Amino acid sequence: MDAKVYNQIGKEISTVKLPENVFGLSWNEDLVHQVTISMMGNKRTPIAHTKNRGEVAGSGIKPWQQKGTGRARHGSRRSPLWVGGGVSHGPRNDKDYSRKINKKMKMKALFTVLSRKFKDGEIIFLTDISLKIPKTKEAKNIITSLSKIKEFSSIGRRKNAAFIALQEKDQNVSKSFRNFSNLELGLVKDLNAMDLLQYRYLVMTEPEKSIAILSSKMK
């Protein structure tokens, strides 16, 4: 498989050969769902917390005698039936939502999403993104130039967000793109299925090096 490679002004420069085991996989909905749900659980930090009947303040003495009062029988003021009592089956901040994800499953899910995006024409390969100074206007010009490519004409629109995968951190590029709410920057080595599914487009720089990094993840 071959893909076109553009520069940051949207001009086609060359082509790059893509490995079938990274960009040519068939869609596997069950695998992608299992991995993304697990990743979401691993990132979850429980905040809501309720006290059970053993943790709320109050006396444990029986409110009134069992029989003879004409009222319903109760054993404690800390019962969930009482105002101020404990909560039954409420949320707890000590609950662990994390799940183990097999490394090969995680990589296969990533490659499955990459394959689907490539098939749908949602991956743009750029030779590089370089800016001499951090300037939002320059970043806007790059996105405008890419939107002139027929296949990626909607990349600059608000609902068509893009994830830009760089080889290494670049302060000028990061500061230039951080004012765009629909654009996210990251590193190729940190790509995962969950991040890619949140954005329609993937902009990948230095494709030869990027492909080498992705291919090495399965070893």
- Cβ atoms of 86 and 53 within 8 Å: the answer is yes
Tell me, what amino acid is at 52? N
**Distant-in-sequence, close-in-space partners of 68: CB < 8 Å, separation ≥ 6:** none
Question: How far apart are alpha carbons 39 and 193 in whole angstroms?
Answer: 9
Q: How many distinct helices (H) and strands (E) make up the chain?
A: 7, 6
Per-residue pLDDT of the chain (219 residues; tens, 9 = 90+): 889 999 988 898 899 999 999 999 999 999 999 999 999 999 999 999 999 999 999 888 999 999 999 999 999 999 999 999 999 999 999 999 999 999 999 999 999 999 999 999 999 999 999 898 999 999 999 988 988 888 888 786 767 789 999 988 989 999 999 888 888 999 999 999 998 999 999 999 999 999 999 988 876
Looking up tokens 């659980």, which residue turns up?
A: 41
Strands 2-6 and 12-17, bridge-based pairing: antiparallel
Question: How far apart are alpha carbons 138 and 144 in whole angstroms?
Answer: 10
Q: What does the pLDDT read at residue 219?
A: 65
Q: Sign of torsion, CA 194 198 202 205?
A: negative
Distances (CA, A) of 187 to 105, 169, 205: 20, 7, 10
Neighbours of 50 (CB within 10 A): 14
Backbone angles phi, psi at 187, to 5 degrees: -105, 150
**Domains of the chain and any CATH numbers:** 2-44+97-216 (3.40.1370.10), 47-96 (no CATH)
Question: How far apart are alpha carbons 170 and 159 in whole angstroms?
Answer: 26
